[in-house]
């Protein structure tokens, strides 16, 4: 383990004291995570955001953070023709002591629990160092890590160089209007931001792809199954959708051939490439009834070099050409813009902080992007370019899959990294704010 670099020992509490407190109180993070996992914040539908905001308000009550709930207006996030499932409640919890603000970003939503879980996905289960539960790694465990760091700073009285500003946001896993986008567009973000929607790895973020989802509704006409032959062409919505599915299957490899100049992760043998996937398909109810509607959910990941409008248009044209006489609706249900290179003046100090927490060697860091997506393209569109990145994701964490887990040792390491970065004593020579004051 790399010892935390610091200035000559100061009178009063030091970062080493804070690290020791994190180690002493690490088990509290297990309890925090269990309480978070128990609240269903899956998107869709996104019905648990109010309850989660209430839990977080209780969690930060002893830290002297001022809490403010900010709801995204329904007309921005509600999908055309879709149901409403509860307020999109974002929570800002911050301290105001006159220091520069450091935004600490989390998305509080998870994907829905898929079939195959061997434990209750909404009940945190411990297996040695592993903490298993829906959202444990992506990304409720990161909230537990930051709470661990802030409590250690509070208990030891460690002087901080930044005022923490927790941003607990909605609808990152999908949706038309992620919460962080709304906060950015309303001018509610300050300072610079540390985004925890990343990996437990010595990574310098190079940016990422964009993503959009389209819901295709194919309409037919419900009749008794015995009358199907006389009902006329186009009555069976599933059969009417077959040419569309075939057209998408033909388009898929063509899109996959489009590569990006965005650097791929270390060890990758191929460049990052665009993707087209059929993510869901629904229709029909029983054998005695001809289905009147069939729905196809399409997910398109597009490279920063691609144009969203052109990518959207290409899919729509393929669908309408494949089934020119079918009754079709095509609805945009979610969109995350690509994130361009988010590096900036705070990254060197954040790398040092990750080394202090996780034990990374300085030469272990590499810069790469990903086909996975982020809601921070919308933040960059408002003028905030630099975004720091970390998280708890590992290749074997089973993120978005049954048995998702994180490790308590990683939570502790991330907590130490955050505490180091917040600390006024830690590598002040690399702090743009401290350098400006000098």
Decide: helix, strand or coil at residue 214.
Answer: strand
**Does 111 have pLDDT greater than 80?**
yes
Residue 434: which pLDDT band, with cuts at 50, 70 and 90? Answer: confident
The predicted-structure confidence for 10-65, as pLDDT tens digits, reads as follows: 468 999 999 999 999 999 999 999 999 999 999 989 999 999 999 999 999 999 99
The predicted-structure confidence for 354-404, as pLDDT tens digits, reads as follows: 999 999 999 999 999 999 999 999 999 999 999 999 999 999 999 999 999
Instruction: In whole angstroms, give the CA distance from residue 326 to residue 244.
Output: 10
Rounded to whole angstroms, what are the CA distances from 32 to 325, 330, 398?
Answer: 55, 41, 21
**Does 223 have pLDDT greater than 70?**
no
Q: Read out DSSP for 45-57?
A: TT--HHHHHHHHH
Its pTM stands at: 0.92
The predicted-structure confidence for 152-161, as pLDDT tens digits, reads as follows: 999 999 999 9
Instruction: In whole angstroms, give the CA distance from residue 424 to residue 388.
Output: 18
- Which pLDDT score is estimated for 26? 98
The predicted-structure confidence for 166-211, as pLDDT tens digits, reads as follows: 999 999 998 899 999 999 999 999 999 999 999 999 999 999 999 9
In this structure, what token pair is assigned to residue 433? 């704010």
- Which pLDDT score is estimated for 3? 52
Cα angle for residues 191, 192, 193 (degrees, 5° grid): 130
Instruction: In whole angstroms, give the CA distance from residue 404 to residue 285.
Output: 32
What is the pairing mode between strands 125-127 and 130-132?
Answer: antiparallel
Instruction: For the chain, give the mean pLDDT.
Output: 93
- Which pLDDT score is estimated for 12? 86
Decide: helix, strand or coil at residue 139.
Answer: helix
**Does 151 have pLDDT greater than 50?**
yes
Residue 322 CB neighbours (<10 A): 19
Residues in the chain: 438
Residue 8: which pLDDT band, with cuts at 50, 70 and 90? Answer: very low
Whether cis (ω within 30° of 0) applies to the bond prior to 45 is yes
**Residue partners of 140: CB distance under 8 A and separation at least 6:** 33, 36, 37, 106, 108, 110, 133
- Which pLDDT score is estimated for 1? 46
Residue 36 CB neighbours (<10 A): 24
What is the pairing mode between strands 163-169 and 88-94?
Answer: antiparallel
What share of the chain has pLDDT > 90, as a percent? 87
**Long-range interactions of 284-291: CB distance < 8 A, separation 24+:** 284/238, 287/225, 288/224, 288/225, 289/222, 289/223, 289/224, 289/225, 290/220, 290/221, 290/222, 290/223, 290/224, 290/225, 290/227, 290/228, 290/231, 290/235, 290/236, 291/220, 291/222, 291/236, 291/237, 291/238
Contact 216, 330 (CB under 8 A): yes
**Per-residue pLDDT averaged across 343-350, rounded?**
97
- Which pLDDT score is estimated for 5? 54
**Residue partners of 83: CB distance under 8 A and separation at least 6:** 45
**Does 437 have pLDDT greater than 70?**
no
- Which pLDDT score is estimated for 287? 78
The predicted-structure confidence for 288-324, as pLDDT tens digits, reads as follows: 788 899 999 999 999 999 999 999 999 999 999 999 9
- Which pLDDT score is estimated for 175? 83
Q: Read out DSSP for 82-125?
A: PPP-S-EEEEEEE--SSSPEEEEEEE--BPPPPTT-SS-TTS-E
Contact 416, 148 (CB under 8 A): no
């Amino acid at each position: 383990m790399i010892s935390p670099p610091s200035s000559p020992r100061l009178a009063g509490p030091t970062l080493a004291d804070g690290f020791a407190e994190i180690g002493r109180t690490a088990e509290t993070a297990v309890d925090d995570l269990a309480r978070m996992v128990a609240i269903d914040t899956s998107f869709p539908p996104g019905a648990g955001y109010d309850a989660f905001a209430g839990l977080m308000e209780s969690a930060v009550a002893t830290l002297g953070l001022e809490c403010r709930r900010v709801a995204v207006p329904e007309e921005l996030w509600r999908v055309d023709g879709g149901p409403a499932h509860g307020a999109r409640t974002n929570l800002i919890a911050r301290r105001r002591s006159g220091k520069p603000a450091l935004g600490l970003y989390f998305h509080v939503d998870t994907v829905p629990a898929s079939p195959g879980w061997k434990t209750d996905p909404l009940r945190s289960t411990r297996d040695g160092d592993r903490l298993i539960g829906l959202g444990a790694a992506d990304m409720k465990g990161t909230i537990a890590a930051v709470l661990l760091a802030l409590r250690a700073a509070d208990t030891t009285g460690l002087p901080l160089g930044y005022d923490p500003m927790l941003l607990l946001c909605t609808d990152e896993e999908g949706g038309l209007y992620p919460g962080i986008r709304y906060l950015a567009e309303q001018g509610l973000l300050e300072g610079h931001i540390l985004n925890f929607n990343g990996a437990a790895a010595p990574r310098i973020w190079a940016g990422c792809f964009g993503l959009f989802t389209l819901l295709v509704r194919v309409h037919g006409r419900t009749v008794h199954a015995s009358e199907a032959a006389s009902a006329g062409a186009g009555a069976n919505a599933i059969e009417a959708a077959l040419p569309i599915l075939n057209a998408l299957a033909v388009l898929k490899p063509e899109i996959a051939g489009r590569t990006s100049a965005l650097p791929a992760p270390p060890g990758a043998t191929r460049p990052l490439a665009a993707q087209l996937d059929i993510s869901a398909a629904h229709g029909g109810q029983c054998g005695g009834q001809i289905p009147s509607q069939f729905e196809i959910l399409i997910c398109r990941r597009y490279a920063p070099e691609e144009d969203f409008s052109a990518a959207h248009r290409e899919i729509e044209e393929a669908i309408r050409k494949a089934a020119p006489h079918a009754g079709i609706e095509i609805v945009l249900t979610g969109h995350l813009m690509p994130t361009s290179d988010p590096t900036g003046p705070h990254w060197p100090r954040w790398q040092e902080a990750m080394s202090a927490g996780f034990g990374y060697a300085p030469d272990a860091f590499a810069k790469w992007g990903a086909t996975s997506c982020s809601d921070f393209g919308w933040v960059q569109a408002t003028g905030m370019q630099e975004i720091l990145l970390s998280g708890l994701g590992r290749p074997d964490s089973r993120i978005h899959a049954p048995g998702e887990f994180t490790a308590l040792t990683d939570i502790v390491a991330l907590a130490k990294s955050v505490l180091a970065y917040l600390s006024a004593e830690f590598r002040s020579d690399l702090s743009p704010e401290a350098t400006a004051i000098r």
